[in-house]
């Protein structure tokens, strides 16, 4: 029976993820945001003002319905569609697979990496560690052909700096033939263990292997769903390690809770979701989620409320009409990547 539930859950999640693959975001009114850096975005809050004021002779029929394209924190609600399209003559990076030895897990573990097209050891690059969803592995993002396009186009348009994208395998079990991902309390443990594997084993390996800006200045973390939850877990556990963090549709379980998949014991008590005073902490934390997320529902909103209650500065916004899908992911990345290396 348990197996049946797990299989159904896997199929449902896989169907949603695939529904999002290569999805074309509808052309939207956020094109102007394409030329904005966060600083410019911050200065452009007037975009929020509704521009379509009815002419004086018109009888107002209903309240204005136009959705603002940029939030007061400078977040473009949707990723502009042209950023997601291949451009003629443009070169896009390709994912490569690598392995590192994890002393923490006592075995060799995989990762994929997307180096800038013009990668040269003469430069030093910031790194984004991008964490996949539940049941995923280091190949989950590498299978997404749009991701290199989004990144390549943003770099070409001067929207973000060149950076190295590292996609690890998050399920940090010591023996992954004996332990598999799933929806039990026991199966949550390897996900949280990844925070230690990442900071103690993978990050030092990446710093040794590629030409990266070392330490916190070059270290950034983001993730989708289970990866979003582990992004939050990792920055709460190692607040001084990362400069910018982004949790897209973070899954439940960082703190106690219950949903249709399982009862979450919680990796931390609500009161532990804090940064000690005077500690170095991430400079920006973005939490976002689709308004129609049918998998994690209102859990991301509850993280926003908890962070607010516990005094953790962060940016929160919702992606209009996005489900647990690419639309939410691309919006989150589009808003997050401009911070990297700046
Ligand atoms: C849950 C709901 C969703 C959960 C995980 C997810 C561990 C993750 C979804 C995803 O990664 O896509 O209750 O519990």
Ligand 1 binding pocket includes 248 (Cβ within 6 Å): no
Please state the φ and ψ torsions of residue 95, each to the nearest 5 degrees.
Answer: -70, 140
Residue 139 pLDDT greater than 60, yes or no? yes
> Cα 327 vs. chain centroid, distance in angstroms?
12
Single pTM value for the model: 0.85
For tokens 């896989």, the residue is 14
Ligand 1 binding pocket includes 202 (Cβ within 6 Å): no
Provide the pLDDT for residue 178: 84
Full set of structural domains in the chain with CATH: 95-339 (3.40.50.1820)
DSSP string, 23-71: PPPPP-TTGGGGG--HHHHHHTGGGGS---PPPTTSPP-S---PPPSB-
- Ligand 1 atom with the smallest distance to the CA of 261 is 13
- Ligand 1 atom with the smallest distance to the CA of 324 is 12
Centre of ligand 1 from the C-alpha of residue 251, in Å: 5
Provide the pLDDT for residue 177: 82
Provide the pLDDT for residue 62: 58
| Ligand 1 pocket, mutate which of 261, 294, 302, 332 (most atoms under 8 A from CB) | 261
> Which secondary structure element, helix H or strand E, spans residue 131, and what is its range?
strand 127-131
Residue 218 pLDDT greater than 90, yes or no? yes
Ligand 1 binding pocket includes 262 (Cβ within 6 Å): yes
Ligand 1 binding pocket includes 6 (Cβ within 6 Å): no
**Residue 143: pLDDT band by 50, 70, 90 thresholds?**
very high
Q: What is the mean pLDDT of residues 258-285?
A: 97
Residue 235 pLDDT greater than 80, yes or no? yes
Closest Cα to atom 7, ligand 1: which residue? 183
Ligand 1 binding pocket includes 79 (Cβ within 6 Å): no
Residue 199 pLDDT greater than 80, yes or no? yes
Provide the pLDDT for residue 61: 56
Q: Tell me the C-alpha distance between 189 and 131, whole Å.
A: 16
Centre of ligand 1 from the C-alpha of residue 135, in Å: 9
Q: Tell me the C-alpha distance between 157 and 164, whole Å.
A: 17
Contact 341, 163 (CB under 8 A): yes
Provide the pLDDT for residue 14: 47
What pLDDT, in 10s, does the model give residues 25-41?
333 333 333 333 443 33
Ligand 1 binding pocket includes 133 (Cβ within 6 Å): yes
């Amino acid at each position: 029976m348990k197996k049946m539930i797990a299989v159904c859950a896997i199929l449902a999640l896989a169907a949603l993820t695939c529904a999002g693959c290569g999805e074309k975001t509808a052309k939207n009114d956020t094109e102007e945001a394409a030329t904005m850096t966060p600083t410019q975005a911050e200065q452009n809050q007037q975009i929020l003002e509704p521009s379509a004021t009815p002419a004086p002779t018109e009888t107002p029929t209903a309240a204005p319905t136009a959705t603002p394209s940029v939030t007061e924190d400078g977040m473009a609600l949707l990723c502009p569609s042209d950023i997601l399209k291949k451009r003629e003559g443009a070169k896009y990076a390709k994912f490569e697979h690598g392995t590192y030895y994890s002393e923490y897990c006592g075995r060799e573990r995989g990762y994929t990496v997307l180096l800038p097209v013009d990668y040269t050891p003469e430069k030093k690059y910031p790194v984004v560690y991008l964490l996949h969803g539940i049941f995923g592995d280091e190949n989950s993002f590498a299978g997404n052909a749009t991701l290199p396009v989004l990144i390549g186009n943003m770099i070409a348009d001067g929207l973000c700096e060149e950076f190295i994208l590292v996609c690890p395998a998050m399920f940090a079990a010591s023996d992954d033939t004996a332990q598999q991902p799933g929806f039990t309390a026991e199966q949550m443990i390897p996900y949280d263990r990844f925070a230690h594997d990442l900071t103690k084993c993978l990050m030092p390996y990446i710093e040794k292997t590629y030409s990266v800006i070392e330490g916190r200045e070059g270290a950034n973390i983001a993730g989708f769903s289970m990866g979003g939850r582990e992004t939050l877990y990792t920055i709460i556990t190692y607040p001084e390690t990362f400069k910018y963090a982004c949790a897209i549709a973070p899954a439940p379980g960082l703190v106690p809770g219950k949903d249709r998949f399982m009862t979450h014991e919680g990796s931390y008590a609500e009161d532990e979701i804090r940064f000690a005073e005077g500690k170095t902490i991430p400079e920006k934390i973005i939490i976002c989620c689709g308004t129609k997320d049918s998998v994690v529902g209102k859990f991301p909103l509850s993280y926003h409320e908890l962070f607010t209650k516990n005094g953790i500065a962060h940016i929160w916004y919702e992606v209009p009409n996005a489900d647990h899908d690419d639309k939410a992911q691309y919006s989150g990345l589009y808003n997050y990547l401009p911070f990297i290396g700046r």
